Amino acid sequence: MGLLVQLSYFLAAVLFILGLKAMSSPVTARKGVMWAGVGMVLAVVATLFHPYIEGVTNLVLIAVAIAIGGAFAWYTAKRVQMTEMPQMVAVYNGLGGGAAAGIAAVSLLKGTHGEDGTSVAAALGGDVATLALLGGVIGSVAFSGSMVAWAKLDERLKRSTLVENHQYWNIGLAALTALLAIWAFNTGFGLPILLFFAAALALGVFITVPIGGADMPVVISLFNALTGLAVGFKGYVLGNLALVIAGTVVGASGMLLTFLMAKAMNRSLANILFSGFGAAPAAGESEAEGEMKEVGPEDAAYMMGYADRVIVVPGYGLAVAQAQHKLWEMIELLQRLDVDVKFAIHPVAGRMPGHMNVLLAEAGVPYDLIYDMEEINEEFEGTDVVLIIGANDVVNPAAREDEGSPIYGMPILNVDYAENVLVVKRGRGAGFSGVENKLFFRDNTRMVFGDAQKVVAEMVQTVKGI
Amino acid sequence: MIEVSGFVALYVFMLAAVAGYEVITRVPVILHTPLMSGSNFIHGIVVVGAMVSLGVAETPLEQLIGFVAVLLGAANAVGGYVVTERMLEMFKRSKKEDG
């Protein structure tokens, strides 16, 4: 039986890697996740026959836990809106981190069964105990941190300060966790182990609370990578290569993805983790000049209907207003008028990289009309009309021009090089990051104020009449 | 069971890290969110570790923690799969290029 179990784990590991590989292209991505799914089912079923598992009670407990956890996740995952995807990924990721921490706790507690005076390290072996503790702290931080990330993105948690001088608290808590780990390592009691997990969970909360909503996707991605790493360590502790390989592959790819995201936002990871964005207003930010010029949806629609080339820049606000279906209806009408329409997506549009693509795909927009920032930035010059819906910071020329601006240096879509810029916006306020946008005051910019869905619906009516 | 220890584990760890890094370097931005979700699903394999942990649990405390770990791991795997699938099934090419 042991051989079949091992064979299943091996196949699962192969399927995971091939699946991730297939997920790197939109054509094969669906197959990829299905392969990985087959691998998962194979590994789970095989584990039911794992020679280590003893006793009917534990087997029943396993079945019940899988049924409850699986049913809860199935129900929530089927119901979640596409706009809420980032926080949902955070939740599932946190649960994985929690599971990794739980495995660590069980392994460490088993190390206290030795004769009196035997330390956990001696009972388990120094390497196993070390990795159990490491995986424990990483899993716990990923768990509590991901839950905070979820609460913040879901706007259930608005505050970004828990205590004064949170940096010192973080350092203090980290030191406390380390000391408790050393204590747990060297003694044979259960108490330090439980205290260690409590401290690690608190550390995750304290690290994540001060981080601003705009930076949260990077943090979720980081926690995702960390959970993978913790799972890899657990694989070593349990002597299970499938966990080692799957966890490490996710850890490495997740770290790379985290750096790619941070780079797209022009923020270093250290900067995100150890400072609050927008907490202190930038000193030298210069005032915007000129005034906003307003135009109605009908006039805006005529501008687009008689243009040769239009580029649409969608942002999260579009999805919040649930206007993406209407927008695509309008684009299809424009295409019938022989207008060349493209979508330009900033790497951090939406709540995380690629989120906007998912939202547009949901509305039925084919992905070959959608262009990345690098692909399309040259094309704004020579474009008749740029339509910006629900995007703000990613088109703010201050990122290019104003050294005093908090977003200075962030790569942006150069929409201001186009002939005309139309901005659909709910009100006159600043964006998600709280930074004033100078684009709105430019001579070639026209503002269309109103709810995105209503505005686009009116545009559709007008375009139909052309 | 296969003995995974010392340097063998280190080699496996290193090679898996390289594989993870290589697999993702050519991913277009449009797939970043599904990919994060997909890799999130893959570390749901933790449920297997949790099952073994609960399987060998002896005291009631260990059983409780093991039970919660399996529950969380299963939720990670199932939720991760469903949301990834839901996102990916929406990606389509233009109709005109299909026909």
Q: Which residue of B has its CA nearest to A190?
A: B61
Confidence of residue A196 (pLDDT cuts 50, 70, 90): very high
Q: Among A101-110, A216-225, A288-297, A373-382, whose mean pLDDT is lowest?
A: A288-297
pLDDT band, very low/low/confident/very high, at A291 (cuts 50, 70, 90): confident
To test the contact with chain B by mutation, choose from A7, A93, A196 the residue with the greatest count of B C-beta atoms within 10 A, namely A93
Q: What percent of chain A has pLDDT over 70?
A: 94
Choice between A290 and A99, residue whose per-residue pLDDT is larger: A99
Does A431 score more than 70 pLDDT?
A: no
SS3 string, chain A, reads CHHHHHHHHHHHHHHHHHHHHHCCCCCCHHHHHHHHHHHHHHHHHHHCCCCCCCCHHHHHHHHHHHHHHHHHHHHHHHHCCHHHHHHHHHHHHHHHHHHHHHHHHHHHHHCCCCCCCCCHHHHHCHHHHHHHHHHHHHHHHHHHHHHHHHHHHCCCCCCCCCCCCHHHHHHHHHHHHHHHHHHHHHCCCCHHHHHHHHHHHHHHHHHHCCCCHHHHHHHHHHHHHHHHHHHHHHHHHHCCHHHHHHHHHHHHHHHHHHHHHHHHCCCCHHHHHHCCCCCCCCCCCCCCCCCCCECCHHHHHHHHHCCCEEEEEECHHHHHCCCHHHHHHHHHHHHHCCCEEEEEECCCCCCCCCHHHHHHHHHCCCHHHEEEHHHHHHHCCCCCEEEEECCCHHHCCHHHHCCCCCCCCCCCCCHHHCCEEEEEECCCCCCCCCCCCHHHHCCCEEEEECCHHHHHHHHHHHHHHC
pLDDT band, residue B94 (cuts 50/70/90): low
pTM above 0.95, yes or no: no
Compute the average pLDDT of residues A176-192. 91
Q: What are the tens digits of pLDDT across the range A29-81?
A: 999 999 999 999 999 999 998 887 877 888 999 999 999 999 999 999 999 98
- From the CA of A277, how many Å to the nearest CA of chain B? 23
What does residue A110 show for φ and ψ, rounded to 5 degrees?
-65, -25
Query: For an interface test with B, which of A31, A66, A92 has the most B Cβ atoms less than 10 Å from its Cβ?
Result: A92
- Here the ipTM equals 0.92
| Residue B24 pLDDT > 70 | yes
Longest alpha-carbon distance in chain B: 63
- pLDDT value at position A427? 76
**pLDDT for residue A429 is more than 70:** no
Residue B83 pLDDT greater than 50, yes or no? yes
Across the interface, of B45, B50, B62, the residue whose CB is closest to A246 is: B45
Q: Which residues in chain B are contacts of A72 at CB distance < 8 A?
A: 75
Of A50, A240, A261, the CB nearest to B55: A50
Average pLDDT, chain B: 86
pLDDT at A32: 93
Cβ atoms of residues A460 and A326 within 8 Å: yes
Q: What is the pLDDT of residue B98?
A: 41
Q: Which of residues A155 and A97 earns the better pLDDT score? A: A97
pLDDT score at A282:
41
Report the residue of chain A nearest B2, measured CA to CA: A239
| Single-letter residue type at A429 | G
Percent of chain A, pLDDT > 90?
Answer: 48
pLDDT tens digits, A208-256:
988 877 788 889 999 999 999 999 999 999 888 899 999 999 999 999 9
Which of B13, B21, B52 faces A238 most closely, judged by CB atoms? B52
The pLDDT assigned to A156 comes to: 85
Structure token digits, residue A322? 């649930």
pLDDT of residue A119: 84
Contact B29 A357 (CB under 8 A): yes
Q: Is A372 an active-site residue? A: no
Average pLDDT over residues B56-76: 94
pLDDT for residue B10 is more than 50: yes
- Which chain B residues are within 8 Å of A249, Cβ to Cβ? 16-17, 19-20, 23, 39, 42
pLDDT at B29 over 90: no
Q: Distance (Å) from the C-alpha of residue A295 to the closest C-alpha of chain B?
A: 32
Q: Which of A215, A308, A393, A451 is catalytic?
A: A393
Q: Among candidates A385, A461, A384, A371, which has minimal Cα distance to A422?
A: A385
Query: CA nearest B95 in A: which residue?
Result: A366
Chain B: give the shortest CA distance to residue A12, in Å.
Answer: 9
Q: Tell me what pLDDT residue B99 has.
A: 34
Each residue's pLDDT tens digit, A127-174: 899 999 999 999 999 999 999 999 988 888 877 777 777 788 889 999
pLDDT tens digits for A327-371? 999 999 999 999 999 999 987 777 777 888 888 888 889 988 999
**Residue-level pLDDT at A301:** 92
- Lowest average pLDDT, out of A18-27, A431-440, B11-20, goes to A431-440
Among A70, A98, A353, beta carbon nearest to B32: A353
Higher pLDDT, B27 or A231: A231
Residue A293 is predicted with a pLDDT of 86
What does the pLDDT read at residue A229? 95
Which pLDDT score is estimated for B96?
47
Across chain A, mean pLDDT equals 87
When pLDDT is averaged across residues A300-312 and rounded to a whole number, the result is 92
Q: Which of A84-93, A143-152, A155-164, A447-456 has the lowest mean pLDDT?
A: A155-164
Cβ distance of B82 and A77 shorter than 8 Å: yes
